[in-house]
């Protein structure tokens, strides 16, 4: 039991620093570690420093040195070019301002895709053909249909010769309506065609005839 009591008493004693331990180092000019020096001016009633006090003093000294270097205790600067080329300061989210990664309107994305792929002409032609009745009116669309749009020239085929003549007279008005619907410069001029003549060819073989004539005259 005496040995157990002596062990407990030894563990409960505060850790103190012996001044004579650094006597030889002071003679050689070497300073003891930070936080291990005792204040010789302290009075006899001052409590000796414990291991916790020494650790606290060492931590304060480390913080002071780190503050002089402009870093934090335990911080290690990353070597240039290390870490697989990843930048630790890279932003992974967008800020309050405009950012290319922010959600974009669908119309803007489609327009960008059409421009990048070179589909402008095809899309413009499809718009004119799909909106033909709304652009020129139901009466005109019933007797005339668009055939092709190339280099700003719209080819329209009329259902009869009379309607082909009527479309030539209304060409300026029709161009104005088309420009108001799909934009200026899409259709610059119109080429009006009459109905295709009926073919009397029968079978895979034939001989040239006298050419077109007034069959219904």
Q: Would 113 be classed as within a structural domain?
A: no
pLDDT of 214 reads 60
pLDDT of 109 reads 73
Mean pLDDT over residues 172-184, rounded? 90
pLDDT of 207 reads 75
pLDDT band with cut points at 50, 70 and 90 for residue 63: confident
Contact predicate 54/37, CB 8 Å: no
Contact predicate 186/146, CB 8 Å: no
Mean pLDDT over residues 138-156, rounded? 91
Mean predicted lDDT score pLDDT of the chain: 72
Three-state SS annotation for 145-205:
EEEEEECCEEEEEECCHHHHHHHHHCHHHHHHHHHHHHCCCCCCEEEEECCCCCCCCCCCC
Sign of the alpha-carbon torsion through 102, 106, 108, 113? positive
Q: Is the per-residue pLDDT at 145 higher than 70?
A: yes
Share of the chain above pLDDT 70, in %: 57
More confident residue, 200 or 187: 187
Q: Would 200 be classed as within a structural domain?
A: no
pTM above 0.85, yes or no: no
Instruction: Give pLDDT tens digits for 12-38.
Output: 444 444 555 445 444 555 555 554 454
More confident residue, 61 or 112: 61
More confident residue, 159 or 68: 159
Number of domain units in the chain: 2
Q: Would 201 be classed as within a structural domain?
A: no
More confident residue, 209 or 160: 160
Shared-domain flag, residues 123 and 189:
yes
Q: Would 199 be classed as within a structural domain?
A: no
What CATH number did the domain enclosing 163 receive?
A: 3.30.300.180
Q: Would 146 be classed as within a structural domain?
A: yes
The range of the structural domain enclosing residue 59 comes to: 2-39+49-67
Q: Would 122 be classed as within a structural domain?
A: yes
Q: Is the per-residue pLDDT at 120 higher than 70?
A: no
Q: 96: part of which helix (H) or strand (E)?
A: none
Q: Would 100 be classed as within a structural domain?
A: no
Q: Would 78 be classed as within a structural domain?
A: no
Instruction: Give pLDDT tens digits for 42-53.
Output: 455 556 667 788
Q: What is the DSSP letter of 19?
A: G
């Amino acid at each position: 039991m005496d040995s157990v009591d002596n062990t407990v008493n030894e563990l409960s004693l505060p850790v103190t620093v012996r001044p004579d331990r650094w006597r030889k180092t002071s003679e050689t000019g070497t300073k003891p570690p930070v936080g291990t020096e005792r204040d010789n001016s302290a009075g006899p009633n001052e409590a000796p420093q414990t291991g916790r006090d020494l650790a606290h003093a060492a931590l304060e000294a480390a913080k002071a040195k780190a503050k002089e270097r402009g870093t934090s205790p335990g911080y290690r600067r990353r070597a240039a070019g290390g870490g697989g080329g990843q930048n630790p300061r890279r932003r992974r989210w967008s800020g309050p301002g405009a950012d290319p990664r922010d959600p974009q309107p669908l119309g803007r994305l489609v327009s960008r895709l059409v421009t990048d792929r070179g589909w402008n002409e095809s899309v413009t032609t499809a718009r004119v053909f799909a909106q033909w009745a709304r652009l020129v009116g139901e009466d005109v669309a019933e007797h005339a249909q668009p055939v092709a749009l190339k280099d700003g020239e719209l080819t329209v085929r009329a259902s009869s010769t009379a309607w082909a003549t009527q479309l030539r007279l209304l060409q300026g008005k029709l161009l104005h309506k088309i420009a108001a619907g799909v934009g200026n410069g899409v259709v610059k001029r119109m080429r009006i065609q009459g109905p295709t003549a009926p073919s009397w060819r029968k079978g895979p073989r034939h001989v040239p005839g006298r050419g077109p004539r007034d069959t219904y005259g």
